[in-house]
Amino acid sequence: MTRSRAAVAVIATCAYVLATFGTAVAAAADPDRGDAPRIAWSHLHNPIIGYATRATKDPAIVFADGRWRALFSSIGADGAWRIGITTSRDMRHWSRLRFVPHDPRVGGEASPDVVRAPDGRWVVTFQSSPHDVDGGESKLYYRTTTDFEHFSPARPLAHELHPTAGDRMIDAALVWTPAGLLLGDKVGGRNGPQAFELARSTTGSLDGPWVTIGRPDISVYGDTIENYQFLRLGGRFALLATSNVLDRPFLFMLTGDPRVPSGWLQWSAGRMLVVPQESWNPGRGATGSTYEHANSAFLVDRHTVEGRYYLVYADSPELVTFAQQGHARLGLARSSNLVHWTVPPG
Q: What is the dihedral of CA 311, 251, 170, 192, to 10 degrees?
A: -130
Give 5-37+62-270's CATH code, choosing from 3.40.190.150, 2.115.10.20, 3.60.15.10, 3.75.10.10: 2.115.10.20
3-state class percentages of the chain: helix first, strand second, coil last, to nearest 5: 15, 45, 40
Alpha carbons 118 and 201: distance in angstroms, whole number: 15
CB atoms within 10 A of CB 89: 14
Chain centroid to CA 209: 22
The reported pLDDT for the residue numbered 132 is 62
Domain edges within the chain: 5-37+62-270
The reported pLDDT for the residue numbered 134 is 61
Alpha carbons 27 and 40: distance in angstroms, whole number: 24
Alpha carbons 60 and 297: distance in angstroms, whole number: 8
Radius of gyration of the chain (CA): 20
Write phi, then psi, for 272 (nearest 5 degrees).
-70, 140
Tell me if 324 sits within 8 A of 346, measured CB to CB: no
The reported pLDDT for the residue numbered 36 is 81
Alpha carbons 228 and 198: distance in angstroms, whole number: 11
The reported pLDDT for the residue numbered 189 is 76
Q: What is the mean pLDDT of each run of 10 residues along the chain (346 residues)?
A: 36 35 37 70 97 98 96 95 97 97 88 97 92 76 97 96 94 98 92 92 98 97 97 96 98 98 98 98 97 98 94 98 96 98 93
